[in-house]
Amino acid sequence: MGRQLGFSMIELLVVLVITGLIAAVAGPNLFATLNASQRADDISKVRGVLPSIALNASLLQQQIIIDSEAQINTFLAEPLDFKMLFEPALLIQNNGYCHTSRVSIINESDETMYFNVTSPYCELTELRQNDES
């Protein structure tokens, strides 16, 4: 037999099948990890910005009412890349005291996360799935 100059069709097909199997197994886990990372980043942003708005209200001696991310974006250099809805609207008194509210965070993949904003320091606590109502 002469010298072979390339790969046979069978060898190429085997490599493609193995690559497809690896992608089928690893792909969903990779996307789940990326979504979890984005979710954690969104929550971290909200946990950081709410107490700073309460501090701002105290320093300015001004009451602040927040019902969506639009009002939060006025306090940020870079706007949030997700939607937020407060029910009822979050009231932060001029002394920095934060009244209890519930917030829904809707990320880019339309996943909705539910949280309570608790008094007095605007702390964010996640609601379990069965606590959404």
pLDDT per residue, tens digit, the chain (133 aa), is 567 788 899 999 999 999 999 999 988 888 889 888 988 998 999 999 999 999 999 999 999 999 999 999 988 888 998 999 999 999 999 999 999 999 999 988 888 999 999 999 899 998 875 455 5
Q: What is the pLDDT of residue 70?
A: 92
Is 102 among the domain residues?
yes
The residue type found at 109 is S
- For the beta sheet containing 123-126, the strands, ordered from the edge strand earlier in sequence to the opposite edge, are 64-68, 83-92, 101-106, 112-118, 123-126
Q: Judge contact between 108 and 81, C-beta under 8 A.
A: yes
Q: Is residue 1 part of a domain?
A: no
pLDDT of residue 1: 57
Give Cβ neighbours of residue 35 (< 8 Å, ≥ 6 apart). 109, 111
- Residue 118 belongs to a domain: yes
Split into its structural domains, the chain has a count of: 1
Structure tokens at 104: 């829904």
The alpha carbon of 28 is separated from its chain's Cα centroid by a whole number of angstroms, namely 19
> Residue 73 is part of which domain span?
9-131
